[in-house]
Each structure stands twice: as C-alpha cells, then as structure tokens.
Amino acid sequence: MIISVLLSGVVVALAQHNYDDNFARNKTFPLSAAAMIISVLLSGVVVALAQHNYDDNFARNKTFPLSAAAYADDPERCVKRVKHVIVSCGWWSKCSGFVAKIPSENAIALSFRGTKGKLQLMEIFGTTLTTKRIRWKVNDQYLGQVGRYFHDAFYGIWDGGLGVHVQKLLKDCADCKIWISYSFRVVHYRDAVVQLPYWYEHHSREVFYKEDMKPNEFHVCEGA
C-alpha cells in the first residue's frame, strides 16, 4: 500500500504521468510489496523528475529490499545509515518506519512497515469500522479522507522522531533525490486487501499482476 503525502510548501515538477513497469518492479515494488509505504515530500522541497512512469525493474530490484527491511527488527542489517522509529499504535500493536540515506543512489528512502500479525490486523479492522475517517487537508486544500488507524500511526511515527531525522538528512544532503511512489498500487490477483473494508478506495491507479507476477506482465487500471 503506497501513500504519497504532500505536506505544506511542496513544489513537484513532473514530466509525465505514465505507468512504467521497469520503474515499479525494480524501484518501487520492493517498497510496496512488503509494506505500507509513505513517500513524504517535506515543505520547501522541489522535486524534478524526468519521467513519471511505472517501472517494473525499478520497483522489483531497487525498492523491494527497502520494503523488506521495514519488517526487520534492525533495518541496518539491510540498509546502512538508518533512523528506525517504533511506537505503540494500539492496544496490542506497534507501528514502525525508517528513513535511510543511500549514497550510491544519491537518495533518501522512507519506508513504513505494514500490518504484522493477526492482532494488529484485527485492531486495524476494528478501528476502521468503528471510527470516522479523517479529512485530509494540506494548506486548506481538501485531499480526501483516510482511516483513523493509519492517520494516527503515521503521525505517531513521524512525531516520534522520524520527521526530525528526515529534516536533518534533507538539510545535510540538499542535492539528494526523493523517490516518489507516483501513486501506483501494485496488486496481485489474489490480493483481498484492495477489496476490504468496503466503502474505501485504496488508490486511483492500480498495477495489476497475474499469478506469478512476471516482469512486464501487468495491467494499469485507471480509476481503480
């Protein structure tokens, strides 16, 4: 599950909005396949990208390891120069995320772990079904609604130390790139999560893969 969050003061310049299988598979798929990922552009950041396509190669070979690392007790075993934050986000569950600098790519990566275990899954569904969704606004611009559990989990991690570290990394590395999810959700054909809970729309653009998720065997659905 990928959520791109644009905070106040962000300027984003994009050349195009096409789906690129190579980009998603090797850059963003690793992040999206194993975790809920939130790509955050902080205030004052200007992002200029040469393309806005879904790239399977990028998703599969670049960001998948980052997604898997979000599930590790110690992400530094997978990625160096990491700030890892773990917070309580319910009666039984904890939520976590990390930010890492990747010098070889001149990039800063931000990855959030997804649901872990049956108790957390039950808590997510319980909160989602019994509480009102929260209106999401940036600079008084209404951007839709988000489930309370995920809203509170994100801000718990962000305010729990991750946000400060991201700001520090951006200050120390003014020329670093920020890889963005481009608002694509990668879906396996048996993925039930995109259908539940009812009355929620997970994403407007879906990248649908069949059984074995071979490279280049996908379909991009607009308005999913």
Q: Give the domain ranges of the chain.
A: 2-222
* Alpha-carbon span 59 to 56, nearest angstrom: 5
Look at residue 49 and tell me whether its pLDDT is greater than 60: no
pTM for this prediction: 0.67
pLDDT in tens, 119-133: 888 888 888 888 888
Dig out the tokens for 118 from the structure: 């049956």
Model pLDDT, residue 35: 35
Model pLDDT, residue 153: 92
Dig out the tokens for 87 from the structure: 């917070």
Contact yes or no for 68/39 (Cβ under 8 A): no
Domain 2-222 architecture: 3-Layer(aba) Sandwich (3.40)
Contact yes or no for 136/152 (Cβ under 8 A): no
Residue 155's pLDDT band (boundaries 50, 70, 90)?
very high
pLDDT in tens, 159-181: 999 999 998 888 887 776 666 65
For range 31-45, the mean pLDDT: 33
